[in-house]
Structure 1
């Protein structure tokens, strides 16, 4: 499938046909990552939620026993006077 590089205001772009977007699970408005590999432009869909997968990673760390505090707990002046 061929496409042309087109002028869009002060930028340029390529219109990606809907079937190609669907083939890699993207649609209009989704974020993508652009990289160059061996002289080719590679477009990959990225999750729009930057915290995607955090819950699963935390569960895996807990299951492996690697979920301890990195920094020790430390108190603030006046903590002993707090009433909950």
Structure 2
């Protein structure tokens, strides 16, 4: 992609730019409301925010349970010395 010139605009006490919709679509940010910003070797880098660890696990577990896929594979078993344990 060729470089394009954008205007830096005053936004209160800060400055900002408007990112063209085709550019956002090109990098998969057209529906995003947040980006991760870093400065690397004098360049401002915008990236999709990283997904939180284990994102979607709760929903996947609920779906699995709803379809009966959450039963124990090996069944319930104890260790040799568990008989004396009190829970």
Q: What TM-score results when the alignment is normalised by the length of structure 1?
A: 0.52
* 1:54 Cα deviation after fit: 5.5
Unaligned segments of structure 1, at least 5 residues: 60-79
2:55 counterpart of 1:53: yes
Say which structure is richer in strand: 1
Unaligned segments of structure 2, at least 5 residues: 62-86
Match of 2:41 among 31, 38, 42: 38
For 1:8 and 1:38, how far apart are their aligned partners in 2?
26
Q: What TM-score results when the alignment is normalised by the length of structure 2?
A: 0.51
For 1:28 and 1:6, how far apart are their aligned partners in 2?
22
Correspondence 1:59-78 to 2 at 5 A: none
Match of 2:25 among 9, 22, 26: 22
Give 4+ residue runs of structure 1 displaced > 2 Å after superposition.
Answer: 49-55
Max Rg structure: 2
